[in-house]
A and B are shown apart, each in its own frame.
Chain A
Amino acid sequence: MLKTWRFHGGLRLPAHKHLSAHRPIVNAELPKQLIYPLQQRPGVQLKPTVVPGETVLRGQIIADSDHFLATPLHAASSGTVKAIEDRIIPHPSGLSDQCIIIDTDGRDEALTSERVADYRLEPASSLRTKIRQAGIVGLGGAAFPTSIKLNPGPQRHIDTLILNGAECEPYITCDNVLMQAEPDVVVQGALILMHALQVGNGIIAVEDHMTEAFQALSSAIEQSKDLRLTVIKIPALYPTGGEKQLIRVVTGKETPSGGIPADVGVICQNVGTAAAVYNAICRGLPLTERVVTVTGQGVKQQQNMRARIGTPISDLIKQCGGYQDTVERLIMGGPMMGFALPEDDIPIIKATNCILAAAGSEVATSKETRPCIRCGDCAKACPVDLLPQQLYWHSRAGNLEKCKDFSLFDCIECGCCEVVCPSQIPLVQYYRAAKSKTIAKAKEAEKAAIAKRRHDFLLERKAREQAERAERSRRKKEALAKLKAAETATEGAE
């Protein structure tokens, strides 16, 4: 057993994982319609490569972009592009944005796939390109392009790959069941990632309650006969699945504030991502489906579903027997960091690990906010060792400079402080608002600086032009005067 470290704070939350942890992965039915938001992440907008009316096949790229944080989007089944129009997208804002709508034809025809015979013979750059072309992003929830993570640059020496199997948020079990059902795929994916990174040390971390997954992975590793890969159990303490927290627990290393894991020689990937990488490289399948946990007391049958990306949530709920009458909130992600959706016609996206249909008794419905009594429970719970209370006072007062002094941007918005706050203050909301205000202010300052530079330049140019004009007219006058003097001289001489 490898030694594990711990991070400050964190919470032991009621797990609620029994609702779905021991249920097999069910293949979701092919939906009538698939919906693909073109905005992958804030600021990364894909351009459609198909037009309405066009027929598409499963695995065909339907949108892409040159943006370095963009990955292509693939149709998850065959059909016809019905429209490219505004739909509500799965985003905390609940805004509408451009989406590609595909009417499926039920035939589920796929493009012929290209597989790699032996990934060990492929150079890292070619694997990265293939991983990008397969549309693979981090499936743990952040959806960061995997190909970029695999390219940390020559200045950083990577020695360890950590596969994140610690599903620290309550309710979510999609990674757990995937590790149980397809341990070989996860292990092979990990080996591909290790090859792409040229690292000799791979660790799969699972939470201590995932006994079955631990055993399945252990025997898969044994079968692979690759001793560079190990699997360890880590304590179930929220947010141990946060990237920097996990690295701390597994290696004892602290990722520097503002830095990335590669700065301490570690790359972290979700276990689902590893499986997707295996499917892309060895089976030639782009990312068009994933395992989603549909759970909560608000749905009749909780289960883990392998669903096509783009499937409307309402379709999945229907296959789970529909809602219970007690359903109160529909959350994409977990109850700590997931966001509430305004309706269920929204599709699942690559980052969707969980659909939580929560009953009223499972979520905070009416918080009775009281003044802060400075109890300090928030600081004790903070996994980053911030002072949430000071951040609260300063963000509430709009004192953004002070917020920065108290390391506002190190906050990972995990919600621990808010859950333990006896005054039930919506702390995370204050931090989010302060962060966006700070960013907006910085942007404004940048704009103002550009405008000022332009204005200064204009003034300078005007002054220069004026000086040049003055100089020209002076020279002209001089020349005239000389001419006149010469004339008078010749006249006088005559």
Chain B
Amino acid sequence: MKFSTVMSPHLQPVNSVDRVMLQVLLALIPGIAAMTWFFGIGVLINIALAVIAALLAEASILGLRGRPISATLKDLSAVVTAVLLAISLPVIAPWWITVVGSLFAIVIAKHLYGGLGYNPFNPAMVGYVFLLVSFPMQMTAWLAPVELSSVALTEIDWLKLIFLEQLPDSVNFDAVTMATPLDSVRTQLGLGRSVPEIQTDSAFGFIAGKGWEWVAGGYLLGGLWLLWRKIIGWQIPIGLLLGLGLFASICYAIDSNQFALPSFHLLAGATMLGAFFIATDPVTAATSVNGRIIYGLLIGSLVYIIRVWGGYPDAMAFAVLLGNLTAPAIDYFTQPRVFGQKT
């Protein structure tokens, strides 16, 4: 009897890129659910817009590059990029912000560098930073959490707000928007108030702002699930949270009036999203085990430095991109010792 021959190993592979990406998407659900609960359905509209734009962009550029289209779209990497970008954007961002950011992420940050696996910078964060420096006004208009807002937006209102940039007649823009907790700590400190005073404001919940802390909790939950499923390693998230936490603890110990509690920094802004979902993007991160701890620590520290002394209230995107820059060097210096070789 004749048989076909292939080279070993013959065992079926235990994992696939499609599966990894799908699980990342599933792990995002608790965070997205919390975001929808506290900030309304705008985030879902943003996700839909970003995903459609990303898939169309990926399909057309794959066509231009003469690469297989449907097989590549199936890997879901473009969807992950789009969702990560969409949930980083203000929920009331106009539709073109989301679409332009998504296109930039896929076309410029991903495919101009060769597509999946070849991009040196995290595409979602490149898209985010591109939007932030190009359209600062739209990118900083954050909605107040539902419970703090006097305005209840219907589905129709949401569609009008995002697609036509129109609010209901009776509502003005300032009534729905509100500074994020990170932002208000920053500006209020500038006005001479102390952190404990600022934290008595209505926008602050238990730890890191009403709504915000729950969203962070959702991402933490999803992140822990990814850890448990071994989709991500512990090195980057723990390194990142440790770097940020250590920095924040030291500063808080020095002056608790000027520096917020470490727990605030860990649950505010994009810390949890960044630690478990963005910095862990394997393509753009360091790859060695020790290198990943360093990489995480570095990003965590950068987040704190930029938040406290830099020009932006949150800093995940910049910190991750700067971390991406260092990844090859970190890998070079953290090579493991080969079995049976001397160092």
Q: Which of A340, A386, A421 contacts B13 (CB 8 A)?
A: A421
Collect the chain B residues with CB atoms within 8 Å of residue A254's CB.
Answer: 339-340
Interface residue range, chain A: 35 or more
* Cβ A338 vs Cβ B336 within 8 A: no
Whole-angstrom distance between the Cβ of A473 and the nearest chain B Cβ = 62
**B contact set with A: CB distance below 8 Å:** 1-17, 19-20, 71, 75, 77, 115-118, 233, 282-283, 285, 287-289, 292, 335-341
Of A113-121, A153-161, A424-432, A453-461, the stretch lying at the interface with chain B is A424-432
* Cβ A374 vs Cβ B287 within 8 A: yes
* Cβ B115 vs Cβ A371 within 8 A: yes
- Decide: A423 near B9, CB < 8 A? Known: A343-B2, A384-B339: no
* Cβ A387 vs Cβ B336 within 8 A: yes
Measured CA separation A373–B77 after assembly (Å): 10
Q: Which of A330, A367, A373, A407 contacts B338 (CB 8 A)?
A: A407
* Cβ B117 vs Cβ A374 within 8 A: yes
Of A57-65, A128-136, A172-180, A412-420, the stretch lying at the interface with chain B is A412-420
Measured CA separation A374–B9 after assembly (Å): 20
8 cross-chain CB contacts under 8 A: A257-B339, A257-B340, A329-B3, A338-B10, A340-B4, A385-B339, A421-B15, A423-B117
Of A75-83, A211-219, A284-292, A375-383, the stretch lying at the interface with chain B is A375-383
Q: Which of B10, B19, B287 contacts A363 (CB 8 A)?
A: B10
Collect the chain A residues with CB atoms within 8 Å of residue B339's CB.
Answer: 7-8, 244, 248, 254, 257, 383-385, 410
Residue of A nearest to B117 (CB): A371
Q: Which of A7, A344, A379, A429 contacts B3 (CB 8 A)?
A: A344
Collect the chain B residues with CB atoms within 8 Å of residue A415's CB.
Answer: 8-9, 11
- Decide: A170 near B16, CB < 8 A? Known: A342-B2, A373-B282: no
Collect the chain A residues with CB atoms within 8 Å of residue B75's CB.
Answer: 370
Q: Which of B9, B71, B288 contacts A419 (CB 8 A)?
A: B9
Residue of A nearest to B75 (CB): A370
* Cβ A379 vs Cβ B15 within 8 A: no
Measured CA separation A359–B323 after assembly (Å): 47
Measured CA separation A257–B285 after assembly (Å): 30
Collect the chain B residues with CB atoms within 8 Å of residue A31's CB.
Answer: none
Measured CA separation A311–B10 after assembly (Å): 24
Q: Give residues of chain A (51-107) contacting chain B, Cβ–Cβ below 8 Å.
A: 92, 94
Whole-angstrom distance between the Cβ of A94 and the nearest chain B Cβ = 6
* Cβ A368 vs Cβ B71 within 8 A: yes
* Cβ A371 vs Cβ B118 within 8 A: yes
* Contact of A372 with B by CB under 8 A: yes
* Cβ A340 vs Cβ B282 within 8 A: no
Q: Give residues of chain A (214-259) contacting chain B, Cβ–Cβ below 8 Å.
A: 244, 248, 254-259
* Cβ B287 vs Cβ A410 within 8 A: no
* Cβ A386 vs Cβ B338 within 8 A: yes
From B8, B116, B118, B337, residue with most partner A Cβ within 10 Å: B8
* Cβ A336 vs Cβ B1 within 8 A: no
Measured CA separation A40–B288 after assembly (Å): 41
* Cβ A432 vs Cβ B7 within 8 A: yes
Whole-angstrom distance between the Cβ of A429 and the nearest chain B Cβ = 5
* Cβ B17 vs Cβ A370 within 8 A: yes
Collect the chain A residues with CB atoms within 8 Å of residue B115's CB.
Answer: 371
* Contact of A314 with B by CB under 8 A: yes
Measured CA separation A314–B76 after assembly (Å): 45
* Cβ B10 vs Cβ A358 within 8 A: yes
Whole-angstrom distance between the Cβ of B117 and the nearest chain A Cβ = 3
Kindly supply a per-residue 1/0 record for chain A positions 25-63, scoring 1 wherever the CB is within 8 Å of any chain B CB and 0 otherwise. Answer: 000000000000000000000000000000000000000
Given contacts A314-B1, A342-B5, 19 further A-B contacts (CB under 8 A): A13-B11, A244-B339, A323-B1, A329-B6, A329-B10, A333-B8, A335-B9, A336-B9, A337-B9, A339-B5, A364-B11, A364-B13, A373-B20, A373-B77, A374-B285, A379-B289, A407-B338, A410-B340, A419-B14
Collect the chain B residues with CB atoms within 8 Å of residue A328's CB.
Answer: 3-4
Whole-angstrom distance between the Cβ of A411 and the nearest chain B Cβ = 10
Q: Give residues of chain A (342-377) contacting chain B, Cβ–Cβ below 8 Å.
A: 342-344, 356, 358, 362-364, 367-368, 370-377
* Cβ A376 vs Cβ B282 within 8 A: yes
* Cβ B8 vs Cβ A339 within 8 A: yes
Collect the chain B residues with CB atoms within 8 Å of residue A293's CB.
Answer: none
* Cβ A342 vs Cβ B3 within 8 A: yes
Whole-angstrom distance between the Cβ of A106 and the nearest chain B Cβ = 25
Whole-angstrom distance between the Cβ of A35 and the nearest chain B Cβ = 16
Measured CA separation A39–B336 after assembly (Å): 39
- Decide: A420 near B7, CB < 8 A? Known: A256-B340, A257-B340, A383-B339: no
Measured CA separation A372–B115 after assembly (Å): 11
Measured CA separation A338–B7 after assembly (Å): 8
Q: Which of B16, B282, B340 contacts A424 (CB 8 A)?
A: B16
* Cβ A428 vs Cβ B7 within 8 A: yes
Collect the chain B residues with CB atoms within 8 Å of residue A410's CB.
Answer: 338-341
Residue of A nearest to B232 (CB): A375
Collect the chain A residues with CB atoms within 8 Å of residue B8's CB.
Answer: 331, 333, 335-340, 413, 415, 428
- Decide: A373 near B336, CB < 8 A? Known: A342-B2, A343-B2, A419-B11: no
Collect the chain B residues with CB atoms within 8 Å of residue A256's CB.
Answer: 340-341
* Cβ A373 vs Cβ B116 within 8 A: yes
Residue of A nearest to B20 (CB): A422
- Decide: A340 near B10, CB < 8 A? Known: A257-B338, A370-B75, A379-B287: yes
* Contact of A389 with B by CB under 8 A: yes
Collect the chain A residues with CB atoms within 8 Å of residue B17's CB.
Answer: 370, 373, 422-423
Q: Which 9 pairs from chain A and chain B are nearest by CB?
A: A415-B9, A371-B117, A257-B340, A340-B5, A375-B282, A422-B15, A376-B287, A384-B339, A335-B10
Measured CA separation A257–B340 after assembly (Å): 5
Measured CA separation A339–B17 after assembly (Å): 27
Collect the chain A residues with CB atoms within 8 Å of residue B13's CB.
Answer: 364, 367, 418-422, 424
* Cβ B338 vs Cβ A379 within 8 A: no
* Cβ B1 vs Cβ A340 within 8 A: no
Whole-angstrom distance between the Cβ of B341 and the nearest chain A Cβ = 4
Collect the chain B residues with CB atoms within 8 Å of residue A323's CB.
Answer: 1
Collect the chain A residues with CB atoms within 8 Å of residue B282's CB.
Answer: 373-376
Collect the chain A residues with CB atoms within 8 Å of residue B11's CB.
Answer: 13, 170, 335-336, 363-364, 415, 419
Collect the chain B residues with CB atoms within 8 Å of residue A385's CB.
Answer: 336-339
Measured CA separation A337–B9 after assembly (Å): 6
Residue of B nearest to A340 (CB): B5
* Cβ B14 vs Cβ A330 within 8 A: no
Measured CA separation A92–B4 after assembly (Å): 12
Residue of A nearest to B116 (CB): A371
* Cβ A363 vs Cβ B288 within 8 A: no
* Contact of A341 with B by CB under 8 A: yes
